[in-house]
Amino acid sequence: MKFLRNLLASIIGGLIAFGILFVMFMVFMALVGNRDGTVGVKDNSVLELQLQYPIEDYVGMDDSDPFAGLFNVNQGLDELLHAIRVAKEDRKIKGISISNSVLLAGLSQTHAIRNALKDFQESGKFIVAYGDFFTQKDYYLASVANEVFLNPVGAMDFRGLSTEVLFFKELQEKTGVKMEVIRHGKYKSAVEPFIANEMSDANRSQIKELLDALWGTVLTDISESRGLSVDDLNQIADTLGARTTTYALKSGLIDQLAHYDEYEARIKENLGLDLEEEINYVALEDYIKTAKKKRLHTGKDRIAVIYAQGEIWYGEGGPNVIGQGIINEALKKARKDESVKAIVLRVNSPGGSALASDIIWREIEITKEVKPVLVSMGDVAASGGYYIAAGANRIFAEPTTITGSIGVFGTVPNVSELAEDIGINAEQVGTNKNAVEYSLFKPMQETFRNNVQEGIAEVYNTFLDRVAEGRGITLAQADSLAQGRVWSGVDAKRLGLVDELGGLDDAIAAAAEMVDLETYRIQRLPKYKSGFEKFMEDFGGTGAKGKEALIEKEIGAEAYKILKEVRSVMENKGVQARMPFTLQIK
């Protein structure tokens, strides 16, 4: 009987495996059958922007890979902006419809999309926007439209920016598991949640000033598009003057309360269609595939754009982690390629390993001796993110970029109190006086703390040297802008930490001008693993992505957010040049 059960289980397992392989084979054949993935665009079409997936600066899949993008739901900002620019020149595209809810993009990414849409409007084509409800970021994007529509029974959020910082000091005292913290910099508060139960005045001050600067940019853009003064917009936010759909309409933030069929009737009117006629929508994800075949830049010479996005870790790196391995390899490739005349490094990072940051900085210094290197900052280019940017020939930042945070810290986990409570005693034996430098199970000795403090001070001074040299200022001036303080792109420009306010396109144009190029192509680096490869790594929840999804599902989104924040600090190795806090701006 046992034999028959085992036999039956083996047969069923084999059939399941065969079924999975068959489905994957059919998907592969379907992809090969439509390799280019392009769609036909009919006359009098409307490009439909429904940004439903997380947006990254760069996805980096190889277009020749038939599985590229199949298992990756993230949207590349570079591809999205390119599609909008191609649509501007496409005579078949008459307008754009933005029908989006809960935009999964950073504030600077939203600003970049908005600017591309403003440029699209200069062609004389229309943009309309519709929402069943608008979050603040959704509305910020939608406000660029010629007309903004809201569902009559929908909702709208317009109240100003805010953020929340979690503190864990009391949790540490209750559990006996704590983080020993050594920091350098008045504002270096990445570790503040582990040493205090409330926000310091210095940290509160810098967060308030940062939010004010970001909100100021948002209001200026909305004011220009909607014809409302900044003071009026602040009044609406302070009084929650858009808390109902009727108030949102009366405030002037939207143009009309309408159901979706009424919204489509307005689009048909713009297209010159009768009400019974169908609108030729082209989905953004489909149009991106078509737009990829159309180059806006041509020429034999190239400008390389190298994307550095995510936290900085010592090692190889990947799509969402900056490692010296993959970034330096891309820099070397661009440096040795004679067709590449200039390099733009796109940085979107809160920082991380000081060692890896310095290794990348050095590779940029070597590269600058051969060809110019410019930096374009995304949502965040802080601490280690600023470290790798500091030496560039020229630095561009968006007004809403979070940058600076020139400072370093170290964290060392310690469980000595927990060990004592549960009856664990650790004894050490060594050959020399300092052979046993530190034990997780013993209280931190002052000699060890002093040694770590000395190392952190040395890294901080090196960081200041890099900034002073790169920005052409004195060490004293660099120190006055440092201390871990974060700045908006607007303030960073005023203080001289960046050269220009602008997006990636502005940095590319400046790079072309620097090397006297009138025509050129864009080469994007690095290339990452295909969606299929990552899928196989995560198949069955055995990969990192699958495990993380399972944990989040089991403990809930809020608890998972806390877990990630604590784990991120506990996994830090070596001295960290990291942004001073985790900001969830809402």
Residue pair 489/216 in contact (Cβ under 8 Å)? The answer is no
Burial of 27 (0-12, 13-18, 19+ CB in 10 A): middle
Q: Is the dihedral of CA 267, 270, 276, 277 positive or negative?
A: negative
Instruction: With beta carbons less than 8 A apart as the criterion, state whether 582 and 191 touch.
Output: no
Is 118 among the residues known to form the active site? no
Q: How far is CA 142 from CA 13, 163, 236, 512, 516, in A?
A: 51, 22, 17, 32, 37
Which class for 107: exposed (0-12), middle (13-18), buried (19 or more C-beta within 10 A)?
buried
Question: Catalytic: which of 225, 383, 416, 530?
Answer: 383
Q: In whole angstroms, give the CA distance from residue 86 to residue 302.
A: 20
CB of 376 closer than 8 Å to CB of 111: no
383 tagged catalytic: yes
Buried b (16+ CB within 10 A) or exposed e, 518-538: eebbbbbbbebbbbbebbbeb
Q: What is the DSSP letter of 278?
A: P
> Coil, helix or strand for 540?
helix
CB atoms within 10 A of CB 270: 18
Residue identified by tokens 């910082």 is 165
The active-site residue out of 94, 125, 137, 188 is 188
Q: Which residues are catalytic?
A: 188, 383
